[in-house]
Chain A
Amino acid sequence: MEFTEDQLQRYSRHIILPEVGGRGQAKIINAKVVIIGAGGLGCPVGYYLTAAGVGTIGLIDNDVVEMSNLQRQIAHNVHTIGMLKVESAEKTFKALNPEVNIIAHKVRISKDNIIDLIKDYDIVVDGSDNFPTRYLVNDACVMANKPLVSGAILKFEGQVTTIIPGEGHCYRCLFEEPPPPGLVPSCQEAGVLGVLTGVVGSLQATEVLKLILGKGEPLKGSLLVYDALKTIFRKVKVPKNPNCAVCGENPTITELIDYSEGYCSLP
């Protein structure tokens, strides 16, 4: 592709990388990525993918910005409190890179709309904060054959994994079922060190760019665990479970499941 003068300036540090070059940057510009959640993880993922020049970025969230979000959700600010998170983030991302097409989906994701929401995108990023959504996104990506970069955070610990349907494990190979409501505390109950979202979100954005470029080794077949207190990264192998209920040889889950009942639905 022919780059504009602005694009040559903006993406020069990418273009000079042997693994990226003009062709790689063109792939990034043509890529379509959807991010589920415009919160702690969605903000840094979207921010860096916008900076990288990902051509189309979808954001799915129906929540509004609150003061308590600003300790970690870096796309929002005091002036956007009360605004929909997708609109607040769109404003921030557009200011960084007006060339990027940001699509704000102002909806709560559900088993009835998820397939339709993700169908036009190449890669799905899960930045959600609850188990019902996490399992819904995993199952939908397996069924729709979409690569998924999943991230999670709590207190001082973060996890990242990349799911390529048909090539490696899925989230259910790792944890078959969501934990019962109340067993695992949420961020509101247990807290989270704000900066952790930046570390995990940046790792997710890196995985997305590697998938777009087709370079390096994505975290397929493994789970990366970050312990911020000890400053330790551990990469744990996750084998594909041949008996997995959704991605196994004889799947028993063939329709999407809404686990949200019984869970706190607060963000």
Chain B
Amino acid sequence: MENSTPDKKINIKGLVCPHTFVRAKLAIESMEVGQVLEILLDYEEASRSIPKSMEDHGQTVLKVEKINETDWVMVIRKDKD
């Protein structure tokens, strides 16, 4: 599952909280249960807060990975509509 192709990708580099989560949440809302979202971001606080908020909202965090000096990639599966 973790290696499957995401159903949707968003790039929220340059955004800070709470707009990082606003974008991520709206993307999740637009998807079907079971689909997977990949998020590219560069705001460190969001690399911790988005996974926590997503889990609070009933979604599953499949991956959070720092991919270079500035960026993170996270993968979220939509479990709850």
Contacts and interface: CB of A to CB of B under 8 A. Distances in A.
A22 B25 contact: yes
B26 interface: yes
A2 to B, nearest CB: 9
Contact of B18 (A16, A18, A21): A16
Contacts, number: 27
B19 A8 contact: yes
B74 to A, nearest CB: 17
Q: Is the interface of A mostly helix, strand, loop or mixed?
A: helix
Q: Is the interface of B mostly helix, strand, loop or mixed?
A: helix
A18 to B, nearest CB: 5
Interface residues of B, number: 12
Interface in B1-21: 18-19, 21
B69 interface: no
A16 B29 contact: no
A21 B53 CA distance: 13
Contacts of A22: 25-26, 29-30
Interface in A165-181: none
Given A21-B29, A23-B29, A15 B56 contact: no
Q: Which 7 A-B pairs have the closest CB atoms?
A: A22-B26, A12-B22, A22-B29, A15-B22, A12-B18, A18-B57, A16-B21
Given A16-B53, A21-B26, 7 more contacts: A3-B26, A8-B19, A12-B18, A12-B19, A15-B22, A21-B25, A21-B29
